[in-house]
Structure 1
Amino acid sequence: MFNAKVYFGYVKVSKNYRLRHMKKTTILLALILLNTIIYSCSSDDNPEPQETEPTENRLVKTEKISDTRKVDYVYNNNDLLSGGTGIFNSFGFIFNFSYDATNKITEWNHQETGSGTFSSNTFFTYDNSGNLISYDAVNLTYNGNIITVTGTIGGNQNATIFLEKNFNGLITKLTENDNYTIFEYNSDGNLIVAKNYNNSNVLLSTFNINYDQKLNPFYGQLASIYVERFIEFFYPFDGIYISGFEGYSFPFIKNNITSISENNIELTTYNYTYDTENYPLHIIGNSSTDTIEFDIEYYE
């Protein structure tokens, strides 16, 4: 188990959290980035958002650190992410998404190759209003704008957490056993502040996220499993890990992150080189201890 926080590449390791790539294997990114260690309303009247066609976005073909560290993506006829292949030196993976007739994700298959092999399938089920109600050993129930989540969550058995959503379906509060976190958004729906409190309402930490004004090319995918993705990256809460390499891990922010700070101390900055349509081509991430660079290639 790595004791690491890597803002560059979505690696989240702490509190016995199980490492996963996008969904199950962010450990792959730890293998890449081990030397870069750094630190809403939902009910029957407001169903879970359906997967929408990202008509504004160009489709990302490849994210590339080097010839042996990259991810290639493919899409279905509706321009929805259908799968991809990745390689990190001698370690490889393949993932595929299946959709129903309403463009909701119903199955996520993941396979790994290398020194060993691994394969997993996750099935997603929804209620008649389109709300996600189960995946893996996790169950979700809805009461107004409150979602009660129970089961084995983030590797924690018999866990229960509560999520609150605003009118736009964005999660604004995560309640755990011994703490809770408030999430604030700007008018574009980008997460800009996360404040973590203990159960005595004492503020423990404040995270601030800044953005450019250019469109995030990964935005608009995986909408039907937004809640699952949110839980993956924010429970148990110990920081912000939604920036960096593998942009489809959390494709729910409209613009590109330029900096992340904790308690007014800047942790990470990102600098972008854009194409003529203002899409990122080259990204440089800097922390106080290291730098990562990668490129994005698009389908024509």
Structure 2
Amino acid sequence: MSTRCARRASMSTLDQSVWGSASRMATISWIAANAPWPGSVGTEAPAGCALIICICILWSIPPVWACWAEAAEEARQAVSASARIMASAPLARHACHGLDQRYMIEIMSPPLIALLDHLEGREIAFAAGAPVFHLGDPVCFIHVVRSGVVHLVRHQDNGTALILQRAGPNSILAEASLYSASYHCAARAEVAGVTWAIPRAGLLARIEEDTELAIAWARYLAHEVQQARLQSEILSLKTVAARLDAWLSCHGSLPARGHWSMLAHEVGVSPEALYREIAWRRRRGTI
């Protein structure tokens, strides 16, 4: 559409210039009819005639060439603009396809646990209360919990134990230890269970080679970072009531009574302090 408009505008400009040139040609014709030609005057006539003819030619031809040059330039610009518009459409279409493909990859990618189950490893059974590893132990395996519950704990100077992770079925125990030579905390089986132990060196090598596994691993770590930030926010609160409120705002309701001691460890308070807070809220009817 823009090319057609440019062409019409160019033709209009050309017509005007041609009409201007026509008037110049009429002037040239008059000069030619009235100017002296060779043989009509003296010896200076040929030189004067040639000069007049050259002036007339130079006066008439440039506007025509300028018009054609202007029209050609406008047409070139219009075609170039149309080409840019047409070229941008395939690019946008390809970009949409790229987004669709990326989202389809995310939807169709198997969960990380399913990918880890196919890696070389071995099952290890732990009795309730048994240690999975100790503080300072070398990291030889990455444990995927298949059954039971394993706690990642850090013992405080006052004798209390801070639970850093409660790893249940289909979760990875101490996933950040993949990038450490030794453990910075301890782990014990809170409930008897089984883990799938993957050699650390083998998992690192597979993550470097397998893009799908690397993406799934990164996504899992991002989720764990969110959970760690929540727990860090809870532990920054000063009172038992504030910590319990923060925990409830995320989880919705209290766990069963038999799990209150684990909740106390998770929010970093003594079981007795948590029991008193829960009892006080129940008397007020707020919980």
TM range (shorter): under 0.3
Q: Where is the strand percentage greater, Structure 1 or Structure 2?
A: 1
* Higher-RCO chain (CA-CA 8 Å, sequence separation at least 6): 1
Q: Where is the helix percentage greater, Structure 1 or Structure 2?
A: 2
- The two structures have a TM-score, normalised by structure 1, of 0.19
- The two structures have a TM-score, normalised by structure 2, of 0.20
Larger Rg: 2
